[in-house]
């Protein structure tokens, strides 16, 4: 599940990104309205958390553009002003829910999960499937050949990324930024270790290996003939 956060207040943005990634979500953080608008209109997200008060392009404009373009992605807006007009305006523009700042992270997480569940009943893709490996995004379950496999939140996010981009070689730097929110120069050993752990869980006991190391380039998940 991929979530876009549009929030210009550094502390809140970082807090949301960290909390959501610890909860196992892949997140993008836009720190201004212009970037937020661009990401929202060009990248596919399962949910957008949108701050209303942004210095350049405000949250209302972003929401309006999304809905005018026919994009149905659930939007949770954050407002500092606890005014009825604001809430009404947001909901009229097509937001799905709102939270008034300051809010407890647990409450945000509960709202996020509800919106994702609601969105998933409309969207088709709640399960990713490659060969006999299934990832149930809503129930956060992994099943291979009928066997239930337990993954940590990070391992789940890593496997989700690999499965969403089946057949693509993913460089360590991309995996680092998408799953760990680390930059290019960070210690990529973390990724190798995590890949090894995921492999041990989803590949080792099965005939067909799905996660492949592409020397000098990165990792790829696919059903390949060499097995
Ligand atoms: Ca703001």
**CA 27 – ligand 1 centroid, Å:** 18
Three-state DSSP string of the chain: CEEEEECCCHHHHHHHHHHHHHCCCEEEEECCHHHHHHHHHHCCCCEEEEECCCCCCCHHHHHHHHHHCCCCCCEEEEECCCCHHHHHHHHHCCCCEEEECCCCHHHHHHHHHHHHHHHHHHCCCCEEEECCEEEECCCCEEEECCEEECCCHHHHHHHHHHHHCCCCCECHHHHHHHHHCCCCCCCCHHHHHHHHHHHHHHCCCCCCCCEEEECCCEEEECCCCCC
CA of 55 to the centre of ligand 1 (A): 7
pLDDT tens for the 227 residues of the chain, in order: 899 999 999 999 999 999 999 998 999 999 999 999 999 999 889 999 999 999 899 999 999 999 888 888 999 999 876 677 888 888 888 899 999 988 999 999 999 999 988 766 555 567 889 999 999 987 889 999 999 999 998 899 999 999 988 999 999 888 888 888 766 555 668 889 999 999 999 999 998 999 999 998 899 999 975 54
Kindly list the domain boundaries of the chain, sorted by start residue.
Answer: 2-119, 124-221
Distance (angstroms) between ligand 1 centre and the Cα of 136 equals 34
Class (C level, CATH) for 2-119? alpha beta
What is the reported pTM? 0.60
Q: 124-221 has which fold?
A: Arc Repressor Mutant, subunit A (1.10.10)
């Amino acid at each position: 599940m991929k979530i876009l956060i549009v929030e210009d207040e550094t502390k809140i943005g970082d807090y949301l990104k960290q909390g959501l990634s610890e909860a196992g979500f892949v997140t993008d953080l836009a720190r201004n309205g212009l970037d937020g608008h661009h990401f929202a209109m060009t990248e596919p997200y399962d949910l957008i958390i949108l701050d209303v008060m942004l210095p350049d392009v405000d949250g209302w404009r972003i929401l309006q553009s999304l809905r005018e373009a026919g994009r149905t992605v659930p939007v949770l807006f954050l407002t500092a002003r606890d005014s009825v007009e604001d809430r009404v305006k947001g909901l009229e523009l097509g937001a799905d829910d709102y939270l008034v700042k300051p809010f407890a992270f647990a409450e945000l997480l509960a709202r996020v999960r509800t919106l994702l569940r609601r969105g998933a009943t409309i969207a088709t893709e709640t399960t990713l499937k490659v060969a006999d490996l299934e990832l149930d995004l809503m129930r956060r379950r992994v099943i291979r050949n009928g066997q239930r496999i337990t993954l940590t939140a990070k391992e789940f996010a890593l496997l989700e990324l690999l499965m969403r981009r089946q057949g693509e070689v993913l460089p360590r730097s991309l995996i680092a930024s998408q799953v760990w929110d680390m930059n290019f120069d960070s210690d990529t050993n973390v990724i190798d270790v995590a890949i090894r752990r995921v492999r041990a869980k989803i590949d080792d006991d099965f005939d067909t290996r799905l996660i492949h190391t592409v020397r000098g380039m990165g990792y790829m998940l696919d059903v390949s003939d060499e097995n």
